[in-house]
Amino acid sequence: MIFEPGPHLMIKFDMTHELAIPLKNIVGVYPRDKITPMPITDKFTLGMANLEGKVVPVENTMERYGYILGPEEETYIILLKTYLAEFGLLVPSKFNVVNISKKQIDQVLNTYDEKNYPNILEINIEGKNILILDLNIAYKYGAIDEQIKSYFAQSA
């Protein structure tokens, strides 16, 4: 587990939870219209997209974690590079970047539940619960999704 300090893309999912993705794992941000729907996929897989010359699956992270889009809200695809592969996530257009310090990470490591949540670490910044993702360790397909869903369920 390596939760690194530095700039993170913040994605807000509800009034109390935000997801932080290290900027170093983001290859680019693209318009939603690049998605080609695919038959016989789960309800959270939107299809495939050709991003940076790579054909990657695109997942609807907003619907997966219960984010409700506003009627006029735009979405984008972020292309992520992980330990194993590259994939796209559909995210709301309202995101920002925050710098997470080593001190903020170190303060919560003593209560970190590595057994149940090896890819996510919760920190609190200005009253907001933020889950930092570690995409640089090996994980099974869907493992990070299960960790986030489980965490959101137990903290509700």
- Spatial distance between the Cα atoms of 83 and 103, rounded to a whole number of angstroms: 25
Q: Which domains does the chain have, with CATH numbers?
A: 6-155 (2.40.50.180)
Determine the Cα–Cα distance for residues 23 and 28; give it in Å rounded to an integer. 10
Give me the DSSP letters along 40-63. Answer: S--TTEEEEEEETTEEEEEEEHHH
Walk along the chain (156 residues) and give the pLDDT tens digit of each residue. 578 899 998 887 666 678 888 888 888 888 887 788 888 778 788 889 988 788 888 888 777 776 766 667 788 888 888 877 888 888 877 778 889 999 999 989 888 888 888 888 888 888 788 888 887 665 666 677 778 777 777 766
**Cβ atoms of 20 and 98 closer than 8 Å:** yes
The C-alpha atoms of residue 97 and residue 112 are separated, in whole angstroms, by: 23
pTM: 0.76
